[in-house]
Every structure is written in structure tokens, then in C-alpha cells.
Structure 1
Amino acid sequence: MKFSQNKNKWTDKTLSEAIYLTYIGSDDYLNYAKDNPNPSDYQNLGFVDQVITSMEASIKVIHDAGGRKFAFQNLAPLG
């Protein structure tokens, strides 16, 4: 959402040369684990699918605006 609000402040060259860093999972997975202490495999797969779908939509917005360089940092192992 912040990207969409601010993208008009940057030139096309800036948008295409920038590196878009995404940190995956901390709030998503930790809150899910806290709220669902004994989820079924079906619930786990559904949640992972939901997170991936959300990330895919966000990346598409940035790519459609000219973003071409992406970096992803993953959640550290839990437990």
C-alpha cells in the first residue's frame, strides 16, 4: 500500500534501478502460530497459500510499476 502511495514520487529510471527488499513471515507466521496452537495440515497449507498469494499480488504491483530487482529475506527457523 505504501509503495502505491509513493510510486509517483520516483522517476521510471529510479523505479527500475531500485532493489525492492521484502522480509517474509515474521508477523504472519508468528501470529498464526500463536492463534492456532494445533492447526491441521490442511489449515497450515491454506495459510501458506494465503501468504504466497498476498506476496504475489504485492510483487506484481511493483513489477507493473517498473520494479525489476527483488530481494527476499526469510523468517529465521522457529523452535
Structure 2
Amino acid sequence: MKLSLANVPDDLLYTAAYNAIRDYRTVHGVNPDVLEITPDDLLRINASYRDTTRRTDPLSEVFGVPFRVVSETKR
């Protein structure tokens, strides 16, 4: 599942990813296998996650769905 976070404010990144997975599951009955995310969006969502939770471990998945980092040209 492609996840575009370009227009999402930084403080809502993790929530936007979570909601995208929830919506996908509602429509398809299962979680997506992976979330395709750009390197820039991955940096942004990790910063947002650290700011929100105060955790220092990097975020590699949301709601049990792992990220696959893809370049902008492959999207």
C-alpha cells in the first residue's frame, strides 16, 4: 500500500498512517502487507513519533504493518 504523507502536518503523521491502515482493513478485510513510504516521509514520521512518545527507537512499522522505503521515482 502506498502511503503519501507529503501534505500531512508533522504532528499528525503517525495518526495518518494508522488511519490509512485502518481504512484499508475496513475495505479489504485484512491489513496491507507493507506501507510504501519515501525516505523523506520516513524521516518525518520517525521525528513525529519520537516527539509524541519520547521514545528513541526508530519506527519500522505502524499497527503491525512494516514500512518499505521507496524512492519518489518508483511511486
TM-score range, shorter chain: 0.3 to 0.5
Considering only CA atoms, is the larger Rg found in Structure 1 or Structure 2? Answer: 1
TM-score (norm 2): 0.35
TM-score (norm 1): 0.34
